[in-house]
Each structure stands twice: as C-alpha cells, then as structure tokens.
Amino acid sequence: MTDKGRLWFTLLLNCLALSQSFNVDSEANRLEFSISGGSGEDKSSFFGYSIGLFKTLADARLIIGAPNHSNRTGAVYSCRVNGNDNSCSKMDAVASSNTEIPGNNGTEGESLGVTISTTENTVTACASMTRFKPTNQACVDDPETKSCLFRRNYFMGRCPVFDEDLKFKYSDIPCYKGSLNRIPHLNRYGMCMLGTGGVQSFNNEGKLYQFISAPGAGRYIGAVVSTVDGDKNSNFVNKVNLKDDTTFLRSAEVKNDDSKSFTAQHAMVGYSTAKGNFTGEALPGLASGSPRAALFGGQVMIYQYRLKNGTATPDDLDDDSELTIKQIITNPAPSTGGPSLFGASVAAIDINGDGFDDLAVGAPLFANSVGNRIGQDEGRVFIFMNNKNGQFSFKQNMTLEGENVESSRFGSTVVNIGDINGDGTDDLAVGAPWGGKDGNGAVYIYNVRDGELTKTHSQVLSSPSGAGFGYSISSAKIDTRVYPALAVGAPESGRVFLFKAKTIITLEDNLWIDRITIPTDESNCEFGKVKYQCITFRANLKDASTNAPAKFDLEITFEADVRDSAAAGRALIYDNSTKTLVKSVTNKVTFIRGRSLPYQHTIYISIDKATNFESPVRLTTSYRTFASKNNCEDGPCAILDQFGALSGFAVVKYLKQCGTDQVCDVDLDIEDTEIRVKKGASSVIEPLYIGSFNDEIKLIAKVRNRNESAYQAKMEINFHEDFALLQISVNGRDGIIPEYNGENKNGTGNVVKFLLDNPILEREVVDVEAQFIIKSLPRPKFFEYAFNLTVNSTGNDINQSNNRKTIKLPMKIQSCVQISLDRAEGGDARNEAPKLLYDNLKKPIARPQSAQEAGPKVEYTILVQNSGRVPIDNMSIDVTLVDRVGRTNIIYITELSVEGQTCELNKINTGKLFGSQPTQTQTNDVAARRKRRDVIQRTDTRPPILNCLNGHCQTMTCKNVLNVPVDGIRRLKLSMAVYLEALQKFQSDEMVITVTPKFGGTFGSIVEQAQECPAKIELRQPFGKITAENSDIKRVEWWIVLVAVVGALIFLAIFCAVLYRIGFFKRHRLEEESPLHQHHIETYQRKPQADGYGSGSDE
C-alpha cells in the first residue's frame, strides 16, 4: 500500500478537552465499547474511526468501523446500546460467494469501516482500498502482464450496504463500473478511494440514494458521485460535470483553471461531505470539502441534486440525475502558519431557523500568530449563512475557536448533533482529537440561540480514557426520550463512548419588590432592638420547558446584599423556619410542569451609621436541580437550561439627603492637625525619643464638611511601617474598627482606613484621634516621620485641595552613657580615685626630661557603659584636665586610649619636658588669663581644687571609636604624671577630670542623654602629702640628726685620744717590727686551724 493510500487513516487524528458542563451526561450514564471487552487493548485496529447510530429502543445499535483491523482488512461492528447487553458483533460485509468482486481479488487490505452512514433501514460502510482486476480485453486475455498486474493494486474502493437486519445486500462500486471495459488509470478512477470523505445517505420513494466521495479520482483531483440502490445514477462531478472518466484528462476547465480559485492537481474534492437543504428543493444538496484546492487555501463546493427529465443522450445513458455546482466557497481567513486544511470537515445546520441549512466548515490546521512567532494547528471552524438559494456568506462573528490550544486541531470533525438540549433548534459538536487537558482529545458542544450559533461552547467533553477522542462523532435518538444520544470515537485507543443527554428544565422568573428606595434616617421595623428598613422580595417562578418531567424538584436560594467585596452585608433575610435573620435562605420545592410558583421573603435592610449608603443593595435568587425521584425518573437527572433563568436579582437604593439628583456635592476639609507624644497620663508636643519609655503618639485631626452631606466619609492615614496602630476614636467614640489596617497596596508603608461618619452633614465637624506606637528600634530611619491624611466620601468632591494633609513627627534618640572609674566586680560605681600622695619636702627637678622626673604618676581605667535602651554607634569621648595654672605645668599625659586605640592628645604635652619640645605659648585670651589670675589671688595662690575655673584646661579627644551595645562597657585608659612642683606649690586638695560623651554617626545630631544621665561626668583625683601617718618610716627632725652626728664625732675624738695616751698605737708598731713577732706569724701559718676563727693553743 502506498503512502498516499494510507493518508486517510492518519491525517485527521487530533485531540482536546476541558470546561463546563451542560446537559450531556458525561459520567453517570456513559457507555464504553471496544472489541477487546472494554479494555481497549486492540488500539491498532482504529476501532471507532467511524461511527453511526442505527434504530431505536431494543433494536438500537451503534455501528463502529475499525479500518485497520486484521492487517488493514478492516471490520464493521454492531453494538447494542440499550438494556444490559452492550456487546458488539462483527458484521459480514461480503456475499458468501464473494461474486461481487470481479476477478476474485478478495477483501484483504481493503480497510473496511473507513466510513459509516445510516438511514432508517440501511447501513453503509465503505472500504476505500478495495482492489479490482482490470476489465479491458488485453488484461482479460493476458492478466499476468506487468501492466495488468500493476493495475490490480489500484484502490477503487467499495461501499457495502446492509439491510435493516444488518445483513449484507450489495456494494456500491461506481468507480469500478466507470472503468469497465477500459484501461484503469491513475488519472481516471484507478485511485478513487471510494467513500474516504464520507457517504451521505437518504431514502426517497423507497429507494436508497447516496452521495459518495471519491477524493482520489483523477490523480487526487477528486470527485463525488450519486447512486440509487447501488446503481450509479449521475456523472462524477468536481468543479464540472464529468461526462466520463476521460474528462479528467481532457477538460481544460478542470486542469488549467485559474490557480487562485481552483487547483485541480491534488485538490481532493470529496475530502469531506455533508448533505443539507441548501436551496429549498425537494432533494437535498451536497457540500464537499476540497482542502488542497486554491494552492492549499482550501475550498468547499456546494452542489444541488436534481433528477433529469426527458430522453437520455448517448453520453449519459445511466445518468438520470445530476449534481449541479452552485457555489465555490473559498477560505475567508488564511492561516499564518501555512495551509489550514480548510474544508477538512463540513456540517449542515439551520442556525437562523429559516428552514435553509447553513454551513460550518472546519480548518483543523489553522495557526495564528502568537507574539513574535506563529502558532501550530490550533484549528478553527468558520460559519457561512445561507441566503436561501444556495449562496453562502461568511459570518466572522460566529467563528469558533474552541480553547485556542496549539496542536489541538480543533475542527477536525464538525457534526450537526440535532437538538441536544431540547430547545427546538439543532446544535453543533466540534472534535479536537489532539487537544484537551491531557492531549487525548475533546468534543465541544455549541448551541443555537436567538438565530445565532453561540461563540462560547456550552460544554466540553473530555476523553474518559485513551487518545484520539473526538475524531468521529455521531448523534441520534435511541429511546423514547426527545433528546438524542451522542457517540464519540477515540480510534487511537480503540474505544467508543456513548453519552446520553439530560432532560432540560427551562425557568422564567419575574422578581418583585414592594419598594425600590428606602430612607436612611428612619426605620419601619426592628429586630433584636436594632432598627431596619423592611421590604418584601418575591420570586414569581414559571416553568417554560417543552420537555420537562411532569413533576420536578428545585432548590431555590435567596441571598441578600451580594457584593464582590468582602464588606459587611447590609441586608438580612427573615428565615420563617428558624425565626432568625440570615444572609441566605435555601428551600426545596416541587413544581408541576407548566405551573407558576410565587416565593417570597421579608428583607431587613440596615440603616446603621456604618452602612454604605452609596451603592444599592443587591438581592439575588438562584435555582438548581438535584438528584431526586422526580428529576431522575426517565434516565439522566434533569437539569436547568443554562439559557433560561438560573438566577435573578433586584436592587434597592438608599435615599440620600442631597437633593433630587441624589448626587452629593461635598467639600471635606482637614482643618487642624497635630501630633502629641504621650508622657504618663498627659501628652506634649515634642519630638519622639527612641530609647525612652514614651513610645506612644496621638495624632489629632479636625475634619469639617463645608457643603452637602458627605456619605461614607472615610479617613485614610498613610504611615511608616515602623509604627503600629493602637486605636482610633471619632468624636470621642473609642474602639473604632478600621475598614482596613495593613500594608499599602502601592508598597509604601502601611495604611489605615476608617469611617468618620455616615453622613457628615453640612457644616458638621468631626474630631479624630489616632494612637500609634513605635516599634522597638535601634535607631529611627528618618529624622522626621510623615503621616499623610486623606479624607473622602462618595459623591462629587468639589474642592480636592483641602482634603489632604501631611504632618511630620520629629525624632530624637535618648541615650544614657554612664562613666565611672574602674571598680571591683559587683562593686559600686565611683567617681573618685585613690588619694595621690607626694613628698612635700623633696626638691622638684627644675627642668625634668621625662615624666618620671616630673612628678608622681597616676593611672586610671575609666568605664564607659551604655545604660540606655538603644545601641550607640560612633561615639566620641572628650577628656578635659587642668593643663597648667599660670605658668606652672600641672600634668604630663603618658597614655590616653580606648580599648587599645590611641586618642588625640591635642598638644597637651607641648613644651613640658626640657629639650623635647618648644615652650607652649600662652593663650591669646587675655580675659581668660586675667580670670584665672584673679581666682588664684583670691585663693591665696593655693586653689583648693584644680579645675577649669582655677587653671587652663586642655581637652583630649577619642573620635568615633566607640560602638557600645545596650548594657555594653568600653574601657578608656588614662596615664599621666602630676608635676611635683605644682603639687608642692599649690598644695590643692584635688583635681577634676571631666569626661564628656559625644554622639556621632548619621543620627548623632539627634542623640541626647536622658535626664537621669548627665551630659558630662567629673572624676576627682584627691592629693595628699607624705606624713608619719602615711609613711612606713618615722620621720626624724633635721636638727636632731645634726646634734647626733656632732655628738658622735666628739665621742670618737675623746676615744682616740685615750688610746694614744696609753700607747696603744706605739706597741702595735714594735710588734710588727720585732723578730719575735715575725716568728709567731710564721708559726701560726704552719699550724692547722682548729676552728672557724683560725686560732690555735695558748702556745
């Protein structure tokens, strides 16, 4: 088999599915058929490639073609659809002797079942690949010649016809008959592929008439032909009436026509077919798709079938009828993605109800542009309206798109499925066998309404299982119900599904309320001590169905104040059964077909101050069916007509106090605003201190309405997310619940919206207080925080310049830096160092060359502690000391550092050591020098305290070196020598060291010390002289020492004189010079020593 011969089994397999549900029961009453017992295992047979419903009640059958069955020989099955037996049996499509196939070529590979067509009493199933032996005399005489053997493989095709008992009667073989006694040729009927594009059957005067497609005739130019009871009764026709098969070769009108209107080569006339009443004549017309015509733009041929009158001519001895071409419909919307296969499917359906069939044409390969690229095979179905004489015009507003999904090939199948919803007009089904949510296929149902085909599908049937769902579709009545059943094939999975339609109930409702406006300042009823305005709401329901059950059950729901927003409801319904007010009431009622039913409730409408009086109150009803005995008695449970009344609504408006036009001209003015910081029980106007315990603020505003009443007057406050709302009060009423409190929709901070009053009358003033608390922050994000206030209301704001105001809150940071001298762990902080003792009698070194020579040395460890509630960044420390008094130096600094980082000494040591630095110049501030001199004179030149009042001070700085967390401590080390000369000269009691913290960084300018934390700290260094009490050695007066020395010398002189008198010094010299003395010395040296002193015996 050639590739061209197999084209028709794979060309149009598509898919798609999804969506809403109308009246085709896709679940409860669905039947599934396959030739493998329901498992669908034999997928290769293409079971379901073609389908048709035949007869009704117990005899109802579903005829299913499987053209790939048994090595492409094909088969046709008959399946029962009513009752418990849904088995399928294979139909015998040849006579027992097989004599109808000349030359006995057999049926192998003929692809039986490529097309199914049914009438009231016949079934036709085509086998497009049936082969016949050549009948010309040369091949009869010598059938084994090469050319004769080759021509045996020509696919002329046959269409077996079955009687009402599904017994084989005969085969329609017009292509074979057209080539009798002639040489079969590809340019003639050699590749007819009979029936591939469908068979359109109808009964007339007891005879079976059939329009049969032959898209492969004339080397795929294509044609259609008509038969009566198996006999060819018209010429083959495409664009012209073909007198005989030679016309395919000789007709210049066919072969050489303008390519823009018709392309003969591979035009494939007969690719799809549909019969219909196009002209109003007694016999039907025929629409035939030619998707490869007009250089693949595609065309649809419209023919009218007529019987001939008069004597037959020699050219048409067997042609007593003809198909006359009426119109060639061209593609109205060429695809941007290449040939769209316009004409691949056609269906005749009366859309506008004029009795003439209109036309739906599928283009499954239609592709549209998707952004910057071209889509792929989304598919379209185009609608053409009949002007009652077989001339059609394109209706763009009815073009069907399905779900516009790529590769779905929507429009591969287009079928008139009859009146599926029971409204008196036929409906349309469109297959998309490569679409759907899972790619396994879908069928879209479109209904006719008010003379137009609805552009939006009413239902989508998704593939229950398997691929290719929607490739074939058929519809017919199979039981006593007025609704047809719908059969859908899924040949890629070897399955066919049968769906039944649900009964449709059509409702009409006439809603009534006793008042359409209500006042806002008075009530006419109350419930639970709450005042309302009450009205009566009634739904007058009527059954307008044509096929509803005799009795049916409905669920009716009343809802009050249905709005899209989440705002609180303004209306409630009185429930008669529970004696309460509710938002909705649902009741089940039973209808009698054709009757009316009034159904009413009392509605309580709010007139509270918080009510939105601007928009009307919407009252709604909704209706639905449910599973009950009445609704489900005759099969699938009845449902409501989606084109009928499924719901209803009525509106009630509030009557406002602003003139007859009910449009209020308002002028809301924010007159005064201020922000107060809470301190204890009171509040003050001052900055808010981060780190203090005063973290709440109160925003105060006054709003005045200077014109007509302002309804739904609301204030909106935009504020930074560092703050959180605590509460709102309006006109002294605390606990106002905001309408919204959260993030601003535009992403800038937070916003709170709340109702001021409803209404604010003319010249009325509203006082607003909003309390906020600042979140725990290490530091503020801004020096000032802005609060933006806006007021608005419904109506017309005549002055928008005064309803907005911004108020700013200045910020400060409160810190608490404690400075003290180092202490033992757990000890108390101290500001006084141990007393520095000095020797008041020691002579100072006049020109010291080192700190050690200058005087006693002292060292301090100064603690800097953050006792506040916020961390400190980039803090500096100033250390101020008395540098000198007059010209006398007081101190010499040897070290000043913070955690090992050296600080700036600011030349405090300049000129204080001899030979090291030039002498420090005196200050040019004459007044300061005179002040210090006067102080010294007043204190008798001995200031008791060395401080900046009594001497010249110098400040040293540790810049931006301290980052101190909360409760953190940093250590400052100070080492210095105090000049002994100054100590002795002034004999002061103590010296003051001043330590001052200074705050830096971005927000340093707004950092302040708390009141309990001093801005500067004075450390004291006391002095003391060395005394007996504070020395380890008792001091002896100088004159006592002198007397003792002189006395000792006198005593020594007297002692020496006495020794001289007694001759002590003379005898010692004689002994050293005498021989005896020398002898004793030598003797002594020779003797061993007897003791540690070197002495011997008395000898």
Query: pLDDT tens, 360-388?
Result: 999 999 998 665 667 789 999 999 999 98
Distance of CA 807 to the CA centre of its chain: 36
Could you count the other beta carbons within 10 Å of the beta carbon of residue 494? 28
User: Collapsing DSSP states into helix, strand and coil, what is residue 1061?
Assistant: helix
pLDDT computed for residue 248 by the predictor: 52
Question: Beta strands 1007-1009 and 804-815: pairing type?
Answer: parallel
Domains of the chain, residue spans = 31-239+263-308+320-502, 505-654, 665-812, 814-824+850-906+945-1028
Which helix H or strand E contains 77, and what residues bound it?
Answer: strand 75-80
d(CA 978, CA 62): 121
Please give the Cα distance from 732 to 217 (Å, whole number).
Answer: 95
1076-1080 mean pLDDT: 52
- Amino acid in position 268: M
Name the token pair of 626: 């449910």
Residue matched to tokens 């493998």: 36
pLDDT of res. 372? 63
Lowest mean pLDDT, pick from 119-133, 479-493, 561-575: 561-575
Query: Tokens 């910057």 identify what position?
Result: 372
Would you tell me how many other CB atoms lie within 10 Å of the CB of residue 1055? 10
Query: Helix or strand or coil: residue 956?
Result: strand
Pick from 38-52, 393-407, 889-903: least confident: 38-52
Q: What pLDDT is recorded for position 314?
A: 35
Average pLDDT over residues 773-781: 88
Q: What angle do CA 410, 413, 419 make, to 5 degrees?
A: 110
Q: Is 1044 exposed, middle or buried (0-12, 13-18, 19+ CB in 10 A)?
A: exposed
Q: How far apart are CA 900 and CA 973, in angstroms?
A: 8
Task: State pLDDT tens for residues 650-666.
Answer: 999 998 888 777 889 99
Look at residue 962 and tell me whether its pLDDT is greater than 50: yes
Lowest mean pLDDT among 325-334, 540-549, 868-877, 1089-1098: 1089-1098
pLDDT at position 37 is 53
pLDDT tens for residues 518-528? 998 899 999 99
pLDDT level of residue 920 (50, 70, 90 thresholds): very low
793 pLDDT above the threshold of 80 = yes
The answer to whether residues 5 and 444 touch, using CB atoms and an 8 Å cutoff, is: no
235, 241, 245, 251: CA torsion to nearest 10 = 170
Which pair of tokens denotes residue 834? 């141990």
Tokens of 15: 């898919």
Confidence of residue 1099 (pLDDT cuts 50, 70, 90): very low
Question: Strand 495-501 to strand 31-33: parallel, antiparallel, or no bridges (unpaired)?
Answer: antiparallel
Q: What average pLDDT does range 901-922 have in this prediction?
A: 74
Query: Tokens 């009358």 belong to which residue?
Result: 761
DSSP secondary-structure letter at 710?
B
Give 191-236 as a DSSP string.
T--TTTT-EEEEEETTEEEEEEEETTHHHHTBEEEEEETTEE-S--
- CB-facing half-sphere around the CA of 1021: CA atoms within 13 A: 26
Going by C-beta distance under 8 Å and a sequence separation of 6 or more, which residues neighbour residue 38? 32
**CA 598, CA 609: separation in Å to the nearest integer?**
34
- For residue 9, what pLDDT is reported? 32
Per-residue confidence (pLDDT) for residue 309, from 0 to 100: 62
Nearest residue to 832 (alpha-carbon basis) of 612, 1018, 678, 704 = 1018
Q: Do domains 31-239+263-308+320-502 and 665-812 have the same CATH topology?
A: no
Using pLDDT thresholds of 50, 70 and 90, give the confidence band for residue 1083. low
User: How much is the pLDDT for 824?
Assistant: 52
Q: What residue has token string 């094909």?
A: 74
For strand 112-118 and strand 123-127, is the pairing parallel, antiparallel, or unpaired? antiparallel
- Rounded to whole angstroms, how far apart are CA atoms 182 and 189? 10
Kindly state the tokens that stand for 62: 């579903």
d(CA 291, CA 410): 15
Q: How confident is the model at residue 4 (pLDDT cuts 50, 70, 90)?
A: very low
Torsion of CA 382, 5, 9, 324, to 10 degrees: 30
Name the residue with tokens 């009845």.
638
Q: Taking the CB of residue 59, how many other CB atoms lie within 10 A of it?
A: 14
Q: How confident is the model at residue 186 (pLDDT cuts 50, 70, 90)?
A: low
Percent composition of the chain: helix, strand, coil (DSSP 3-state, to 5):
10, 40, 45
Query: In whole angstroms, what is the distance from residue 25 CA to residue 940 CA?
Result: 120
H or E segment to which residue 475 belongs: strand 472-476
Alpha helix segments (H runs only) across 308-365 = none
Q: What's the confidence (pLDDT) of residue 400?
A: 96
Assign a CATH topology to domain 31-239+263-308+320-502.
Methylamine Dehydrogenase; Chain H (2.130.10)
User: 941 or 1027, which is more confident?
Assistant: 1027
Q: For the CA atoms of 264, 265, 267, 268, what is the dihedral angle to 10 degrees?
A: 120
DSSP 314: G
- The total number of residues shown for the chain amounts to 1099
- Of 195, 229, 199, 197, the closest CA to residue 211 belongs to 199
Alpha helices in 919-1015 (DSSP H): 926-938, 980-986
pLDDT tens per residue, range 22-31: 789 888 789 9
State percent of the chain over pLDDT 70.
82
- The residue ranking higher by pLDDT, 358 or 565, is 358
Count CB-CB contacts under 10 A for residue 340: 28
Answer yes or no: is pLDDT of 7 > 50.
no
Helices (H) and strands (E) in the chain, counts: 15, 72
pLDDT at position 100 over 80: no
Q: Residues 603-633: pLDDT tens digits?
A: 999 988 878 888 889 999 999 999 999 988 8
Structure confidence by residue, pLDDT tens digits, 385-438: 999 888 999 999 999 999 988 899 999 999 999 999 888 899 999 999 999 989
The structure tokens listed for 444 are 């879209």
Buried b / exposed e along 293-308 (16+ C-beta atoms within 10 A): bbebbbbbbbbbbbee
User: First and final CA of the chain: distance in angstroms?
Assistant: 162
- The pLDDT score that the predictor gives to residue 99 is 55
- The structural architecture, per CATH, of the domain 665-812 is Sandwich (2.60)
CA nearest to 896, candidates 938, 848, 858:
858
The overall average pLDDT reported for the chain is 84
Q: How far apart are CA 270 and CA 284, in angstroms?
A: 17
Say yes or no to pLDDT of 165 above 60. yes
pLDDT at 391: 93
Strands 688-690 and 804-815: parallel
CA–CA dist 882, 886 (Å, integer): 11
Tokens representing residue 19 in the block: 């969506």
Residue 563 has pLDDT above 80, yes or no: no
Cis status of the peptide bond prior to 759, with omega within 30 of 0: yes
Closest CA to 875 of 895, 859, 898, 893: 898
CB 363 within 8 A of CB 380: yes
**Tokens linked to 440:** 């396994």
Task: Give per-residue pLDDT as tens, 229-259.
Answer: 988 877 778 776 565 545 554 444 444 444 4
> Could you tell me which residues come within 8 angstroms of residue 208 by beta carbon, excluding any fewer than 6 positions away?
119, 122, 161, 201, 228, 229, 230
Pairing type for strands 373-374 and 112-118 reads unpaired
pLDDT for the residue 1079: 52
Task: Go through 426-449 and write b for each residue having 16 or more CB atoms within 10 A of its CB, e for each that does not.
Answer: bbbbbbbbbbbebbbbbbbbbbbb
- Give the pLDDT confidence score for residue 598 in this predicted structure: 85
If one looks up domain 505-654 in CATH, what number appears? 2.60.40.1460
User: What is the per-residue pLDDT for 926?
Assistant: 59
Tokens matching residue 659: 């003139």
* pTM, 2 dp: 0.60
Average pLDDT over residues 711-721: 94
* Per-residue model confidence (pLDDT) at position 42: 66
What is the per-residue burial (b if ≥16 Cβ within 10 Å, else e) of 984-1012?
bebebebbbbbbbbbbbeebbebbbbbee
pLDDT-wise least confident of 130-139, 742-751, 784-793, 1090-1099: 1090-1099
pLDDT of 312? 39
Question: For 821-852, what is each residue's pLDDT tens digit?
Answer: 986 555 567 889 999 999 888 899 888 999 89
- Please check whether the domain covering 814-824+850-906+945-1028 is classified as CATH 2.60.40.1530: yes
φ and ψ at residue 1081, rounded to 5 degrees: -65, -45
pLDDT digits (tens, 9 = 90+) for 487-502: 999 999 999 999 999 9
pLDDT bin (cut points 50, 70, 90) of residue 1061 is confident
Contact 49, 195 (CB under 8 A): no
